[in-house]
Structure 1
């Protein structure tokens, strides 16, 4: 049994705290809002994010990061990706010297174009091999409901990956290990932009052919960028690549897909944000992913058009026309 801290009490952080507790760990959730922490402590639930979930008694909560991190061997980070560097810089002094840091975040940092594991290592001042990434087709409400699923634990330190694997293995969540951190993180980041495109396609009334095209060509974009950055191409055929992409692009539980539907109906970014009331990571990450692709000379036409819809006000119909009129080429 390990002492674990989960920093972030949103949907995925809360669901992951349940996973850790069900696997036999004592868990403290850090919540930004006192009301959320109180609900978890006193009523064993998080009605703001997962109203149907009853958390195990091994899960408690606090608004004090020092209390959450006290003696934690496993530190799981589940906050919006663009707030990571600032927050972790403040929390780093409370980390146990050999704690394993686990990223649940799926994004690329604006400006630096760094993956979340790279930001964690820099902000916390730790060696990269102390940082693991958990990613895959893991929609939080389904995990919270104990529906069978699998995930990937990626870490360059294979022994540490195995320890995290054992710490989160339950009868409903089957973790696999992988040493390709680059590929696993890019799969999780880029799929959010592709899911935005799939949501737009749904709102425009397009069918399964369109969505299958976006998924497969989106996977090709992801793999091209991954290979340019040193990832293993086979990673993108697995849970962290195709698995996560299919779930995020297909499910009504997907925040990015749902956000894309609002954009496809002609809403502005601000209107979509007001209607959904949550963070769709792909909206900000598509900017960083586009810049990362440009830096490495990689073509990512779907991601580019998603960025133009989100941040330049391009009509989604025009974006479709641009994609369909690109110069023909071999697959």
Structure 2
């Protein structure tokens, strides 16, 4: 399973890896790395969506590194790429935290937020399946009451993964749906409640206020609920993910991040820039629509995949 997942991850990040590889191409065959080359590498890494802070940090590592040279006394692609992968892993490691390692309450409430189209509903279904495989019972709360298609999609996921779904009337109070789902979970001794909220633009204050209201309502049943508040980010939006994360964090105080749709995107480097800037736990990354195409985030695997290297 692990090897299969790494191959999926590497394939999914291949366009991003090609950008990172392109940034390092100017070093190959050189005996030393001069300042002009370092500046070019930094610029190319920024263009690969790794962000200014992470790109500067990686470039400094290259500058300070004493590289092993080949027989021709030249730097090889493998050596420089291993150095970059190692530094990316250093950036990512503090953010590596499984969604499933901190389940202390019963029922445990996982609250998913994000903009329209980020993949929240699909993510809710995939996470429900992963909890099911751990023999945990799950209720899915269809709190996206504005979009009938989202409710139907969640019900389909519920049938697929054997989870109950609590929904309300179209256009109804989304906080009330979350509250009812939590109450039902308490009465029936259910392990997990996953709240699928309506997608919203991060700059719409009234919609963001609805998220904070739902969190307040859930806290009436358990002062620590929601126990996890996770933003689902679409990996194809690149640096726009920063403003999304900032706004959702300001509204509800995020405990974690899930990044979806990394397959086929050339913007996978955004995961590195988010880790370097925000230091918020990254729980999972997704590289496809399949049930097992969302997996727990692993700093080593991700750093090697985005550098185009094989797994250790």
| TM-score, normalised by the number of residues in structure 2 | 0.36
Structure with max Cα Rg:
2
Greater length-normalized contact order (CA 8 Å, ≥ 6 residues apart): 2
| TM-score (norm: length of structure 1) | 0.34
Q: Which has the higher helix share?
A: 1
